[in-house]
A and B are shown apart, each in its own frame.
Chain A
Amino acid sequence: MIKELLKTKLKRIIRAGLYNFWRNGTVSLASVLVMMVTLTVVGFISFSGAILDTSLNELRNKIDINVTFVPSATEEDVLNIKYSLESLPEVSLITYISKEEALTAFKDRHANDQSILAALDELDSNPLGAVLNIKARDPSQYASVAQFLEGDNTVSKSGITIVSRVNYFQNKAAIDRLTAIIHSADRLGLALTILLAIISMLIAFNTIRLTIYISKDEISVMRLVGASTSYIQGPFVVLGIIYGLVAGIITLVLFLPMTYWLGTETENFLIGFNVFSYYLRHFVEIALVIMISGILIGALSSILAIRKYLKV
């Protein structure tokens, strides 16, 4: 019996919300448009987050240090150092390039320069040393890796230092700078995201508040005929949810041409990141985020805005 009553009540509330939405066409249109702006901001926040992430990762992957060994270093000595480097927690990947591979690569690079190739042929032995290419988990950790290479760890069994050159010390300034940029871009991105989200939510909230303000006389009449709080509030909450749903669906559809255009325009600039394919790949997550944000903003705005008029 009570269940039946609740069902009737819910049905009436939803129907009233739908009627309100339909009959106040212009007000609904305005609210949906404002809500769309908010949800577009929410969507672009997730895009820009992804763009920042991939760009930063791309940059991070470009940073590495090369350790060049003296030509006389034995492969065993070099591999020993490689193993001890691999035991460091900061190191994510080490590639060993043997003397012979280094020579082949060098020859390939200078395939058109006959004089250099001729000079190489004059030499009896391979003048190049082996190389270890090191990637750290985080750019800020290269300093400690470099420090490790400076110490006694790189002395061979015969007692001489076998490292000829660590390019970290040449690149240090650039690496430090890049690290700083990455970190501040991260922080700035977060701050901007939060700011934008707050602003757009306030705008949406205000719009819904206005639509409820228009109805304040109605609300007082409902009060005077003895309607309960939930029965007055319900249709407005439904209305807010409908605004969110409709705005969410339109926004999701509009994102298709928008991201398609943005994707082709910015693919080169963003180092292989295509917004359109990202959108398609993550459609379910983005759709969920946008729909849930729309519903929450709509419902919460309604609840907050109507409280003022329910005091009678």
Chain B
Amino acid sequence: MIFFDRVSKIYPDDSVALDNVTISIEPKEFVSIVGPSGAGKTTLLKLFLAEDKPTEGSILYDNVDIHSLDKKSINEFRRRVGMVFQDFRLLPDKTVYENIAFTMEASGRSDDEIEADVPYVLELVDLTAKIWNFPHELSGGEKQRVAIARALVNEPDVIIADEPTGNLDPMNTYDIVQILKKINDLGTTVILTTHNKGIIDSLRKRVIAMDKGRVVRDDRSGKYDA
């Protein structure tokens, strides 16, 4: 479903972020990408979301090169991908409800659908009580759950979680991973990047290890260390 075909990314200052990376990800997979800071994990996700262009190689999604799409198609593609970030990236001036509704509005869903679906996804992440709160009134774990609800609400094919637990305590980390696992069990592809050894070791799912822009290991059912 997702295919990175010999992708390299060299920034204008000649630093090599990705060096000839080839990865194939199947539907309904749960893939963890691990590696030290600067290994190229975030660059990989950025290229996948068409935030940036690869210097060489191509990225295919359902056999279509993402970087050959026009602006409108990129927007449509992004609506099929749910994003969760380490720093949550909620819209600070919108309530929890509006943050989630915004994504649905952007995809052109009707008011009736929005009114029905937003409370539903909030129930999934167990945050119904905070529906009218603003992000600054929430804890880190709650913010991340809003972010996951937002990523889920358009029923995406893929959820990308970039260090989603980086700013969270162990309790919240566990909760978030359980939610991601549940999402995967329901049939959504999940791509997770993390430094957290405990998460990887408990998941027992596919692990791709990166270092200095290269894929150094790809285990079907791996641990953090080889």
Contact = CB atoms under 8 A, between A and B. Distances in A.
A107 B124 CA distance: 106
Interface stretch (A80-88, A155-163, A218-226, A296-304): A218-226
Contacts of B107: 226
A261 interface: no
Nearest to A229: B71
Given A225-B83, A226-B77, A20 B93 contact: yes
Given A224-B51, A227-B75, A23 B106 contact: no
A224 B78 contact: yes
A114 interface: no
Interface in B82-117: 83, 89-94, 98, 102-103, 105-108, 110-111
What is the interface of chain A mostly: helix, strand, loop, or mixed?
helix
Contacts, number: 53
A226 B93 contact: no
B108 A12 contact: no
Given A20-B93, A23-B93, A229-B71, A222 B108 contact: no
A245 to B, nearest CB: 20
B51 A312 contact: yes
B94 to A, nearest CB: 8
Contact of B89 (A8, A12, A23, A217): A217
Contact residue range for chain B? 20 to 34
A243 B148 CA distance: 35
Contacts of A8: 110-111
Contacts of B78: 223-226
Contact of A225 (B98, B108, B111, B150): B150
Given A224-B51, A225-B83, A226-B77, A231 B106 contact: yes
24 contacts: A8-B110, A8-B111, A20-B93, A23-B93, A24-B93, A218-B91, A218-B92, A218-B93, A220-B89, A222-B91, A223-B78, A224-B51, A225-B78, A225-B102, A225-B103, A225-B150, A226-B76, A226-B77, A226-B79, A226-B107, A228-B72, A228-B106, A231-B106, A312-B51
Interface of B: 49, 51, 71-72, 75-79, 83, 89-94, 98, 102-103, 105-108, 110-111, 150
* Interchain residue pairs A-B with the least CB separation, the first 7: A226-B78, A227-B106, A226-B79, A225-B103, A226-B75, A23-B93, A221-B89
